[in-house]
Amino acid sequence: MLQKLTPQQIQVIKLLEMPVMQLEQKIKAELEENPVLEEMESPADEALKIEPSGQEPQMDAESDAENGDDEKPENEPTANTDDEFTVEDYIDDEDIPYYKLDAQNFDPNAKNEEVPFSASVSFTEFLERQLRERLLSDKEFELGRYLIGNLDDDGYLYRDLDAIANDLAFNEGIEATKDELSKVLSEIKQLDPAGVGAKDLRECLLLQISRKDHSEKVIKLAETVIRDMFPEFSKKHYAKISQHLRLKDHELKEVLAEILKLNPRPGSAFNDPATKLMEHIIPDFILENREGELYLSLNSRNMPELRISDEYALMVEQANSKAQKKDKEAITFIREKMNKARMFIDAVKQRQDTMMRTMNAIIELQRAYFVDGNEQRLKPMILKDVAKRTGYDISTISRVVSSKYIQTHFGIYPLKYFFSEGMQNTDGTEVSTREIKSILSECISNENKQDPLTDEQLVEVLKSKGYTIARRTVAKYREQLGIPVKRLRIEIQ
């Protein structure tokens, strides 16, 4: 039987789903709409020291009546077995997940309310602003805007200009020839970031290398490789390149290094998830390591403490004592606003309590990991484990985890990062799939770069370390880590 939720419970659920930025906006809106609600100056939040505890908390009277199945927070994309050379193959990804942001600039002594936030313009807006500065006619500018609108997120123009000309005539009523579009496209290719407007990866890299200093021999050679020997480069047929250009091994290595500095996704500065996170993320929690002790606090930047206005409370009190009928309508309005304000204040407090209790449980379950951020110390953990420890429903834990982030002394992470399924190794010990990925990454990092390991060989290496998994699972984990197939990991001496 499904329990009916009260308005108060529904409000708590909605607030619980909100990350810190949305909550700030919600509080601001409530303050503007409800004159009875006001903010008061509050002292800085005290960080909660995370004490090791083996005790299970007592069950709360959980208000959430929804029941949800335990879910896997970790995305599991299918391994790509296609051996074709793509933009993805070209990129030299690190084995760090996109959401594991650089902690080098993190100051553990900084105040919590000073966590930075910066907005950004869209890729299209950035290009259009530059286009306005070019010497173009009104028609050419409109053609340029339309071409920019046809770029994909990475900055490529895959559509044929004849097709775009037809669309312009049909949809916009603008007659344009292929030559006119080609002229404007040439202007777009001069914009920043270098490489935008290219029809394929080869042209994208050529646009970028053309802006470099060609007085340097390595730049000229790199351009030659991209222009004349791109198929050989893409398939890593380095011997053919060396023979054709009469390069020594160290010269070829310098040329390849120069090419790999180029960006195969010029639009990624605006559209890649990693960049978006770095620009927009605001952590919901702050975890500090003070001389080996962990302290947890909510990020309360721009988060005022709320209260009922003394002025309006006094008006209601005086009206009750005088019982003046002429003020009845006004007093009724104030009472309704006061009840709404109290309910909102209680909901915010309940959200804070639920958030802290849940995050505290996650840290207790993963304490060894949170001390230094070593991925191999992450234990298998699912939503049910945290629900059991907190006494909350699984659906409540899911709401807390969704779209929330924590700033630690070793980086900023989404809460979903700490969850993973488990498997048993040959010793019968349960280990996290994330631990296996970490060991897999380590194996590939230490392989012979002139003769990298195949997936079958990686299966045997992991087996020797006590992890028995199938080849297709190795391929899947390798893909998730952004590590290409053996052929594309070959390096020359």
Domains in the chain: boundaries: 7-68+283-418, 118-198, 201-265, 422-489
**Average model confidence (pLDDT) for the chain?**
77
Amino acid at site 333: F
Hey, how many other C-beta atoms are within 10 angstroms of the C-beta on 267?
21
Q: Give the pLDDT score at 320.
A: 65
Q: How far apart are CA 308 and CA 306, in angstroms?
A: 7
Instruction: Give the fold, CATH level 3, of 118-198.
Output: Arc Repressor Mutant, subunit A (1.10.10)
Residue range 343-382, pLDDT digits in tens: 999 999 999 999 999 999 999 999 989 988 887 788 888 8
pTM over 0.75: no
Extract the tokens encoding 109: 């002594």
Whether the pLDDT of residue 199 is over 90: the answer is yes
Q: What is the mean pLDDT of residues 164-179?
A: 88
- DSSP assignment of 232-284 equals HHHTT-HHHHHHHHT--HHHHHHHHHHHHTS-S-TTHHHH-HHHHHHHH---S
φ, ψ (nearest 5 deg) of residue 408: -115, 180
Residue 361's pLDDT is: 95
Q: What pLDDT, in 10s, does the model give residues 99-114? A: 333 333 333 344 443 3
Model confidence over 428-474: pLDDT tens digits? 666 777 778 888 888 998 898 888 999 999 999 888 888 888 888 88
pLDDT by residue (tens digit) across 11-60? 888 888 888 888 888 888 888 888 888 887 655 556 777 766 544 444 34
Domains 118-198 and 422-489 fall in the same CATH topology:
yes
Chain mean position to CA 257: 28
Supply the pLDDT for residue 424. Answer: 66
Do 415 and 17 touch, CB atoms closer than 8 A? Answer: no
Give me the pLDDT at residue 422, please.
Answer: 65
Is residue 229 scored above 80 in pLDDT? yes
- Can you tell me whether residue 407 is helix, strand or coil? strand
Rounded to whole angstroms, the Cα distance separating 399 from 415 reads 11
Phi first, then psi: give them for residue 295, nearest 5 degrees. -125, 125
Mean local confidence (pLDDT), 201-227? 90
Highest mean pLDDT among 103-112, 181-190, 315-324: 181-190
Q: What's the rounded Cα separation, in Å, for the pair 351 and 327?
A: 36
Rounded mean pLDDT, 135-162: 90
CATH superfamily to which 422-489 belongs:
Homeodomain-like (1.10.10.60)
Q: What is the DSSP letter of 326?
A: G
Beta bridge partners of residue 430, listed in sequence order: 424
